[in-house]
């Protein structure tokens, strides 16, 4: 640039205004200190992947944590090494390692090494996963995973959708699509509703609140499942009210979080066909089992759904957060979700834009860690890992059944085992749970099943070994009042 030309003189002036002689802020450059802390940060992450984590964790009093972290926001910065010290010494010890093999509470997680590592590539690549134009390569890879899931479920080849942040987002996007299609077809005929059992995940009820629709409650059978007759009865009862709602969908479950119950999808699908209702299946936890032939057998009827969601961060070995949403006919989702704005005029809508299939626009290409891991290890390795967790749950249920101090409450459909320690009060359950969590032996947290406080074990980690589970039964048997 010639400093005597007009443009050149302008540039000299701008450089002066901007103080360009000062160094570029180091936040955005790679210098020697970056090199040093990158080693430290990456080294720690590798340690987290490679070594067993300390299963004892516990938050200090909230005010202590708040004070510690309040000091981390300062004008001058702490530097990466001090920030990492706080991470190692304060942050991580007060977070539960969700992938510890003896963490059996709620729904744990068990990401593969490849999936975890690849998350760094996703972050470092600054990929915009919202539309094809910006993220074609990433979206094409994600779509293969969605296609794989769709074909495992027996959906036609055109099935597809998008990766979203979690099961809540998947349920919402699918049910908004269902409502949109219903309103296009029938117009507004009164208060809208979808049908769901009382056992569905809390997020389905939150979804109804967000959408401002009612829920038609469906009774479950003794295994916590929605059946065809119960659904038909619930719909008839709602209609008989006279002032009954306009039902547009059924939100069924394939693996409830509490009991792992799988609704009778074949029967439910038949009722949906009869009544022209959209069938969405929340399979956040359970539909992961599609990846093994044995698991698939347990999910008969899934081929009839209009949409389903599954969270790979639960039981498909992907890091947080990642949920897959798949539609039988993705075109129906486009008309419900496409966002238009002047600044989006230039977006080519002829390709696959994930933002057209769910309620989101900016989007991390969050399906990529799963894609990379699946590409690396192959689908057989996934089936094997899945079968291992199912077999471990089965073996544990057998051990519960064989043990004189326990009642098995529900034969596991997938990998959740509910059981009762004979002679224990609700407080006994809670106290044992707290004590063993504190010692780092295991995290097993009681739940409520048919009104009773019971023990619940959820196995999603191939590293959870039956050798370490069975002795827990002896421990519980010996603890507290006699069985």
Site for a second copy in 294-353 (CB under 8 A): 311, 313-314, 317, 319-321, 336-337, 339-346, 351-352
Minimum gap (Å) between residue 107 Cβ and a second copy: 8
Count of residues in contact with a second copy, rule CB under 8 A: 183
Minimum gap (Å) between residue 344 Cβ and a second copy: 6
Instruction: Round to whole Å and give the CA distance between 411 and 477.
Output: 20
Minimum gap (Å) between residue 264 Cβ and a second copy: 21
Binding residue for a second copy (CB under 8 A) from 227, 257, 307, 353? 257
Instruction: Round to whole Å and give the CA distance between 93 and 413.
Output: 34
Cα 363 from chain centroid? 16
Instruction: Round to whole Å and give the CA distance between 270 and 99.
Output: 39
Asked if residue 478 binds a second copy (CB under 8 A), the reply is no
Provide the mask over 20-59, with x wherever binding to a second copy is found by CB under 8 A and - wherever it is not: x---xxxxxxx---x--xx--xx-xxx-xxx--------x
Minimum gap (Å) between residue 308 Cβ and a second copy: 17
Phi (first) and psi of residue 447, to 5 degrees: -135, -175
Task: Give, as ranges, the residues between 405 and 424 that touch a second copy (CB under 8 A).
Answer: none
Burial of 350 (0-12, 13-18, 19+ CB in 10 A): exposed
Q: How far is CA 214 from CA 83, 203, 325, in A?
A: 47, 14, 23
SS3 218: strand
DSSP structure string for 156-214: -TT-EEEEESSHHHHHHHHHHHHHHHHHHHH---SSEEEEEETTS-HHHHHHHHHHT-E
Task: Give, as ranges, the residues between 182 and 241 that touch a second copy (CB under 8 A).
Answer: 192, 201-203, 205-206, 209-213
Which range in 154-162, 172-180, 240-248, 292-300 contacts a second copy by CB under 8 A? 172-180
Which range in 161-169, 269-277, 291-299, 405-413 contacts a second copy by CB under 8 A? 161-169
Q: Which is nearer to a second copy, 228 or 315 (CB)?
A: 315
Which range in 104-112, 214-222, 270-278, 293-301 contacts a second copy by CB under 8 A? 104-112
Which range in 244-252, 286-294, 324-332, 371-379 contacts a second copy by CB under 8 A? 371-379
Instruction: Round to whole Å and give the CA distance between 197 and 216.
Output: 8
Q: Which is nearer to a second copy, 225 or 364 (CB)?
A: 364
Binding residue for a second copy (CB under 8 A) from 36, 66, 233, 300? 66
Q: How far is CA 97 from CA 89, 108, 111, 397, in A?
A: 14, 9, 12, 25
Select from 137, 138, 181, 139 the least CA-distant residue to 353: 139
Minimum gap (Å) between residue 266 Cβ and a second copy: 26
Binding residue for a second copy (CB under 8 A) from 2, 74, 157, 482? 74
Helices (H), 292-425: 293-297, 312-315, 330-337, 368-377, 379-402
């Amino acid at each position: 640039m010639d400093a005597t030309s007009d443009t050149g003189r302008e540039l000299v002036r701008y450089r002066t205004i901007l103080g360009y002689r000062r160094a570029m802020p180091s936040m955005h450059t790679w210098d020697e200190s970056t090199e040093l802390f990158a080693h430290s940060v990456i080294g720690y992450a590798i340690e987290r992947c490679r070594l067993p984590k300390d299963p004892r964790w516990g938050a200090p009093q909230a005010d202590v944590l708040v004070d510690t972290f309040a000091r981390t926001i300062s004008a001058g910065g702490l530097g990466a090494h001090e920030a990492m010290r706080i991470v190692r010494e304060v942050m991580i010890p007060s977070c539960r390692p969700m992938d510890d093999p003896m963490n059996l509470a709620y729904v744990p997680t068990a990401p593969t090494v490849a999936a975890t590592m690849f998350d760094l590539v996703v972050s470092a690549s600054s990929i915009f996963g919202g539309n094809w134009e910006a993220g074609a390569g990433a979206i094409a890879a994600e779509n293969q995973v969605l296609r794989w899931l769709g074909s495992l479920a027996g959906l036609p080849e055109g099935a597809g959708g998008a990766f979203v942040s979690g099961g809540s987002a998947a349920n919402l996007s699918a049910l908004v699509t269902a409502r949109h299609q219903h309103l296009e077809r029938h117009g507004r005929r009164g208060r809208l509703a979808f049908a769901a059992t009382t056992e569905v995940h809390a997020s389905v009820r939150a979804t109804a609140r967000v959408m401002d629709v009612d829920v038609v409650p469906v009774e479950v059978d003794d295994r916590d499942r929605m059946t065809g007759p119960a659904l038909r009865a619930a719909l008839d009862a709602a209609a008989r009210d006279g002032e009954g709602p306009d039902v547009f969908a059924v939100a069924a479950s394939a693996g409830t979080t509490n009991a792992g119950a799988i609704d009778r999808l074949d029967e439910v699908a038949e009722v949906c066909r009869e009544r022209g209702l959209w069938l969405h299946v929340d399979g956040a936890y359970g539909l992961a089992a599609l990846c093994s032939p044995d698991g698939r057998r347990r999910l008969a009827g899934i081929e009839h759904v209009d949409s389903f969601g599954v969270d790979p961060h639960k039981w498909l070995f992907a890091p947080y957060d990642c949920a897959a949403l798949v539609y039988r006919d993705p075109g129906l989702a486009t008309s419900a979700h496409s966002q238009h704005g002047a600044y989006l005029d230039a977006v080519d809508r002829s390709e696959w834009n994930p933002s057209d299939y769910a309620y989101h626009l900016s989007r991390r290409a969050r399906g990529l860690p799963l894609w990379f891991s699946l590409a690396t290890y192959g689908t057989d390795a996934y089936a094997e890992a899945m079968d291992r967790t199912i077999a471990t749950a089965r073996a544990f249920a057998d051990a519960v059944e064989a043990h004189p101090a326990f009642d098995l409450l529900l034969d596991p459909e997938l990998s959740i085992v509910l059981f009762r320690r004979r002679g224990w009060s609700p407080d006994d359950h809670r106290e044992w749970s707290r004590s063993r969590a504190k010692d780092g032996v295991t995290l097993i947290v009681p739940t409520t099943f048919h009104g009773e406080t019971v023990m619940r074990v959820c196995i999603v980690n191939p590293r959870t070994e039956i050798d370490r589970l069975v002795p827990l039964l002896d421990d519980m048997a010996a603890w507290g009042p006699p069985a």
